[in-house]
Chain A
Amino acid sequence: MSNIFVIILVSIGLAFELVGCIGLIRMPNVYNRLQAATKCVTIGTCFILVGLCVFAAANSNISLVLKTIVCIIFILLTAPTAAHAIARAAHKSGIPLWKRSEVDKYEIDHEGEDPLPDDS
C-alpha cells in the first residue's frame, strides 16, 4: 500500500526534474535558465526525498526518516540562496539581459554605483 504513495511522489518529483532540465536546455539566457531550472529541480528533488521518507517510515527505519527530513530542510534553504548568489554574480559580471527583456530592477535600484567597487 505504501508502495503506491512512494511511486506517486517519486513520479511527481521526476516530472519536475525533467521539466527543469528541459528548461535548462531550452531557455535563451542565463537568467531565464536559472529561473526555469533552479526552482523546478529543487522541488523535484524534495518530492523524491518525501517519497523516500514515506518508504523509510513504512519500513520503520527511524534514522533514515530523520536524515531525509534534514536533507529536505537543507535543500530548501540552500538552493534558492545559491541561485540568488549566481544571478547577482552574473549581473555584476556584466552579462546582458535577453534582448526582449523590458525592465532591469537591479540596475534601477543600484543606478550610479560602481559595478565592481574597489575595496583596496
Chain B
Amino acid sequence: MSIFITIIYVVLMICTFMCLFRIAMGPTSADRIVAIDILGTVIVGFCCVVILQGGRNFYMNIAISWALLSFIGSIALAKYLEGKGLDE
C-alpha cells in the first residue's frame, strides 16, 4: 500500500507541474485561467491521497473548502476576462 501511495504522489506531482507549466507559458490569459481551474481540482485529489495515507481526516474539510474557493475564483476570473464587474 505504501508503494502505491508513493506512485499516486508522483503522478499527481506530474499533473501539478503540467498545470504550472501551462500557467507560466500560456500564450493568452484564458489559458492561464483554465490551468488555474484544473490545478484547483487536482489539489482536491491531493487532499484525498493525504487522507488515504493515514489518519488525517481533517484534510477532507480542506478539500471541500478548496473546491468552493476554486469555483468562486474561476467564476471571478472569467467575469474579469469578459470585461464585466462581479455583480452582473
Q: Residues of A at under 8 Å CB distance from B?
A: 3, 6-7, 10, 13-14, 17-18, 20-22, 24-25, 30, 33-34, 37-38, 41-42, 44-45, 48-49, 51-52, 55, 61, 63-64, 67-68, 70-71, 74-75, 78-79, 81-83, 85-86, 88-90, 92-93, 95, 116, 119
Contact = CB atoms under 8 A, between A and B. Distances in A.
Contacts, number: 145
A63 to B, nearest CB: 8
Interface string B13-26: 01100110110000
Interface residues of B, number: 45
Interface string B37-64: 1100110110011011000010011011
Given A18-B15, A45-B42, A116-B82, 15 more contacts: A7-B1, A17-B11, A20-B15, A20-B38, A21-B42, A30-B34, A33-B22, A38-B38, A45-B44, A49-B44, A49-B45, A64-B57, A82-B71, A86-B78, A88-B78
Contact of B60 (A20, A71, A89): A71
Given A61-B57, A82-B78, A44 B4 contact: no
Contact of B34 (A10, A34, A51, A64): A34
A7 B48 contact: no
B37 A86 contact: yes
Nearest to B16: A21
Q: Nearest 9 A-B pairs (CB), nearest first?
A: A90-B30, A82-B74, A89-B82, A21-B18, A89-B78, A85-B78, A78-B71, A21-B15, A89-B81
B30 A30 contact: yes
A90 B32 CA distance: 11
Does more than half of chain B's interface fall in helix, strand or loop, or is it mixed? helix
A68 B37 CA distance: 20
Give the residue among B22, B34, B79 with the most A Cβ atoms within 10 A: B34
8 contacts: A30-B31, A33-B31, A49-B44, A74-B64, A82-B37, A83-B34, A86-B33, A89-B33
